[in-house]
Amino acid sequence: MEIKQVGIIGAGVTGLVTAKTFLEEGYQVTVFEKQKGLGGVWEKSRTYPELTTQTPGNIYSFSDYPMPQSYPLRPTAEHIRDYLKSYAQHFGVLDRIKYGANVIKVEKRSDNQPGWEVKVRFQDENEGQIKDVKYFFDFIVVCNGVFSTPKMPTLPGVEEFKANGGVVLHSTEFNDASVISGKRVAVVGFGNSSADIAAYAVDKAQECTLIFRKTTWKLPEYILGLFHVQYIVLSRFSQFVHGAESPLYQIPKPLSWAFWRLLEICLRLQLRIDSCGMRPEQAIDKLVNCRLYIRLSSVDFYKHIRSGKLKTKKTEIERFVPGGVKLANGESLQADVVIFGTGFRKDIPFLSPEYRQKILDDRGLVLMYRNMIHPDIPRMGFNGYNGGIFGSLMSEVSARWLTEYLKGNLKVPSRQQMLEVIESTYDSIDPNKCIPQSMFKPIDQLITDLGVNPHRYGWNLIAEYLLPINPSGYHNLQQELLNKN
């Protein structure tokens, strides 16, 4: 049976580029988005005040649709929303999106036809009515990604804390500054959102305390005010400096060691992290390719810690108590508002346990070939599960990989070989540890699968390894595939 109707779950960055790519290939596309607007993590109700991108805006752009030149180097959440809406409108995706569409079940069609039956729940906010609608598709692409389900710790005493007027939020729920105005605020975590919210709160709250288990390296936007950090973390340079790339391009270990120690010294001097007790225990070269452990520092983050405006507690919350929290170090902390920047957990709740257990294990790992297909779940693809700092470009290349796969232009291993690849890839992984590897590897791997050269600067190795990644270098990918096929 020919595949014509394609259902896409999610209208974030990944869902939009997937819809655009499938439309280009002639498929009939329907996109389901449970929020009121597009954008995924950038949707208005999920973004905190003064949120900006962590890297230059062009890294968030698609290869064939650059961001407006009027945008600042690090666009705001509003800029990103406007850009995504403009992108969706330009490529005919906007009219394909159904908002307020909560996908509650995806199961095999009951009419013995190949494909999927999708049950979607719509709720009329004005009348409070709930309506369930069924749709039928030849192929489904799940684009809810890894940032759809907030991860919150289960702690005793939380209901009593709330009953006494306390407020508990995940960072994605903090979208109104009045919630913290004049309040005693505790922010949990040391990641992007935790640091941003804590730095923002010090001038709005009565007092603010950051609670974390360990510190991580944070990078200023400009190293010593001389060059932008993207030349270190967004280029292949950092990869071959510590040996993640081909041995052909590795530099001698003593030089690599010296480079990373010099960078650490620069960061310690520039950010003055030793003076406020924020120097990480682990060396930066052990974490530089682990997206979850290398962050950009907000301008005033360490300054607020040194001045005492932002208090810090290197511990964790043991339990909630009326009017505050009890910490694992034995201290008690008064708090009116507790905001958790504790990340997200992977979940695909609308899939039956039969399929869910095939692709998600109890370690939180995604068990799929190329993180996109599973041989025992036919006519279903996944996009947005490859992760990495180059999210938009990764999603764009992944969408192209899926369309080539559907058209039969892609050679994939047999079922048994796929299962062996999945097993060998994930059996040795400890999700609690970070194993540095090339940030470019997932993209390079997919493009190599497509039969196209992953190195976009040809023989210009200086540009290839020293310039930051540029999505526009991939804009001819579709034409390259047409020429090849």
In terms of domains, do 310 and 361 share one?
A: no
**Mean model confidence pLDDT for the chain:** 89
Count of alpha carbons within 13 angstroms of residue 366, beta-carbon side = 21
Query: Cα separation of 123 and 111, whole Å?
Result: 27
Task: Kindly state the average pLDDT of the residues 380-391.
Answer: 86
pLDDT digits (tens, 9 = 90+) for 309-363: 999 999 999 999 999 999 999 999 999 999 999 988 888 999 999 999 999 887 7
Question: Which domain, by its residues, includes 237?
Answer: 151-343
In terms of domains, do 176 and 302 share one?
A: yes
In terms of domains, do 223 and 372 share one?
A: no
Q: Which of 177, 224, 223, 222 is nearest to 196 (CA)?
A: 177
Q: What per-residue confidence (pLDDT) applies to 291?
A: 47
The answer to whether the CB of 434 falls within 8 A of the CB of 294 is: no
pLDDT at 207 over 60: yes
Q: What per-residue confidence (pLDDT) applies to 345?
A: 85
Domain boundary (343, 372, 406) is at 343
In terms of domains, do 294 and 170 share one?
A: yes
pLDDT at 145 over 90: no
In terms of domains, do 382 and 290 share one?
A: no
Give, in order, the Cα–Cα distances in Å from 414 to each of 54, 310, 420.
40, 56, 10
pLDDT digits (tens, 9 = 90+) for 386-407: 876 788 999 999 999 999 999 9
| Count of all residues that appear for the chain in the document | 485
In terms of domains, do 16 and 50 share one?
A: yes
In terms of domains, do 169 and 309 share one?
A: yes
Domain boundary (343, 373, 399) is at 343
Overall domain count for the chain = 2
In terms of domains, do 335 and 349 share one?
A: no
In terms of domains, do 320 and 219 share one?
A: yes
The answer to whether the CB of 229 falls within 8 A of the CB of 297 is: no
Tokens, residue 272 = 């003055």
Sole residue written with tokens 């698609």? 62
pLDDT at 258 over 80: yes
pLDDT digits (tens, 9 = 90+) for 70-112: 999 999 999 999 999 999 999 999 999 999 999 999 999 988 8
The answer to whether the CB of 198 falls within 8 A of the CB of 208 is: yes
In the chain, % of residues over pLDDT 70: 91
Domain boundary (297, 324, 343) is at 343
Tokens, residue 152 = 């919150």
Task: Kindly state the average pLDDT of the residues 153-170.
Answer: 96
In terms of domains, do 390 and 337 share one?
A: no
CATH number at residue 405: 3.50.50.60
Q: Which of 153, 139, 146 is nearest to 366 (CA)?
A: 146
For the ranges 156-165, 229-238, 291-300, the maximum mean pLDDT occurs at 156-165
The answer to whether the CB of 467 falls within 8 A of the CB of 235 is: yes
The answer to whether the CB of 405 falls within 8 A of the CB of 381 is: yes
Q: What per-residue confidence (pLDDT) applies to 428?
A: 55
pLDDT at 368 over 50: yes
Q: What per-residue confidence (pLDDT) applies to 295?
A: 65
pLDDT digits (tens, 9 = 90+) for 8-55: 999 999 999 999 999 999 999 999 999 999 999 999 999 989 898 888
Task: Compare 463 and 209 and report the one with higher pLDDT.
Answer: 209
Kindly state the helix (H) or strand (E) to which residue 78 belongs, with its residue range: helix 77-90
pTM over 0.75: yes
In terms of domains, do 12 and 82 share one?
A: yes
In terms of domains, do 308 and 431 share one?
A: no
Q: What per-residue confidence (pLDDT) applies to 286?
A: 74
Q: Dump strand ranges (E) for 257-298.
A: 294-296
